[in-house]
Amino acid sequence: MIYLENLTKKYSDKTLALDDINLEISRGEFVTIVGHSGAGKTTMLKMITAEEAPSLGKVFFESTNVHDLRKGDVPKYRRKIGVVFQDNRLIPNKTAYENIAFAMEAAGRSDHEIVADVPEILKLVGLDNKLWNFPHELSGGERQRVSIARAVINQPELIIADEPTGNLDPINTFDVINLFKKINEMGTTVLLTTHNKGVVDLIGNRVVTVEKGKIIRDDKDGKYVL
Ligand code: ADP
Fold for 1-80+156-226, please state it. Rossmann fold (3.40.50)
Q: Which atom of ligand 1 is nearest to the CA of 42?
A: 2
Q: 81 forms bridges with which residues in the sheet?
A: 158
| pLDDT tens per residue, range 144-167 | 999 999 999 999 999 999 999 999
CB 34 within 8 Å of CB 224: yes
| Residue bearing the CA closest to ligand 1, atom 16 | 38
pLDDT value, residue 32: 96
The CA 112 to ligand 1 mean position distance, Å, reads 42
Grouping H, G, I as helix, E, B as strand and the rest as coil, residue 3 is: strand
Reply yes or no on whether the pLDDT at 18 is more than 90: yes
Mean pLDDT of 43-53: 96
The CA 195 to ligand 1 mean position distance, Å, reads 15
Mean pLDDT of 33-62: 96
The CA 181 to ligand 1 mean position distance, Å, reads 28
Angstrom distances, CA of residue 29 to CA of 32, 84, 158, 201, 203? 10, 17, 10, 16, 12
Residues with CB under 6 A from ligand 1: 11, 13, 15, 17, 35, 37-43
| Residue bearing the CA closest to ligand 1, atom 13 | 38
Q: Which amino acid is at 26?
A: S
pLDDT value, residue 196: 87
pLDDT value, residue 221: 76
Reply yes or no on whether the pLDDT at 86 is more than 80: yes
The CA 43 to ligand 1 mean position distance, Å, reads 6
Q: Which atom of ligand 1 is nearest to the CA of 15?
A: 26
Q: 8 forms bridges with which residues in the sheet?
A: 56
Report how far Cα 184 is from the mean position of its chain's Cα atoms.
12
Reply yes or no on whether the pLDDT at 220 is more than 90: no
Reply yes or no on whether the pLDDT at 219 is more than 80: yes
pLDDT value, residue 223: 64
| pTM assigned to the model | 0.93
Reply yes or no on whether the pLDDT at 224 is more than 90: no
The CA 47 to ligand 1 mean position distance, Å, reads 12
**% of residues, the chain, pLDDT over 70:** 98
pLDDT value, residue 8: 98
Compute the radius of gyration of the chain from its Cα atoms. 17
The CA 185 to ligand 1 mean position distance, Å, reads 31
**% of residues, the chain, pLDDT over 90:** 91
The CA 119 to ligand 1 mean position distance, Å, reads 38
For the chain, the structural domain boundaries read 1-80+156-226, 90-155
Which of 4, 11, 46, 163 has most ligand 1 atoms within 8 Å of its beta carbon, as the pocket-test mutant?
Answer: 11
Q: 209 forms bridges with which residues in the sheet?
A: 34, 217
The mean of the pLDDT values for the chain is 94
Reply yes or no on whether the pLDDT at 226 is more than 80: no
| Residue bearing the CA closest to ligand 1, atom 6 | 40
